[in-house]
Amino acid sequence: MQHITRIAEIYNYIRVPQAIDWAKNSLRQSRLYGLRAPGFEHFMEGSEVPKEMLVELFQSVRKIWSQNTPDADIDRKRAIRLLLEGARL
């Protein structure tokens, strides 16, 4: 049972912070998609929004997600190292 508990601790240590980041970025993205962003205050649903502003907005969305893409191989190596070291988290 100790091994299962240890695996769960390591999983939570590595993955939960990333899950929180994903949730926060999803919320940020939904605000952007709803045009609730600086510079869009005077636009209402159905308003004509300049294409340049939309391109810039969606580049911001792309940036949000490009910064939030973890490398699974790095996470795997961290998990193995933590398992082998047996260090407390």
* pLDDT of res. 74: 87
Angle between helices 2-33 and 51-66 (to 10 degrees): 170
Question: What does the pLDDT look like over 4-46, one tens digit per residue?
Answer: 898 899 999 988 988 898 899 888 888 888 888 889 988 888 8
Give the pLDDT of residue 69. 66
- The residue extents of the domains of the chain are 2-85
Rounded CA-CA distance 26/77 in Å is 27
Q: Over the stretch 49-79, which tens digit does the pLDDT of each residue have?
A: 999 999 999 898 888 887 766 778 888 898 9
83 by DSSP, 3-state: which?
Answer: helix
Q: Which residue has the tokens 């590595």?
A: 14
pLDDT of residue 1 exceeding 80, the answer is: no
Task: Tell me the two tokens of residue 1.
Answer: 């049972």
Q: Write down the pLDDT at residue 35.
A: 85
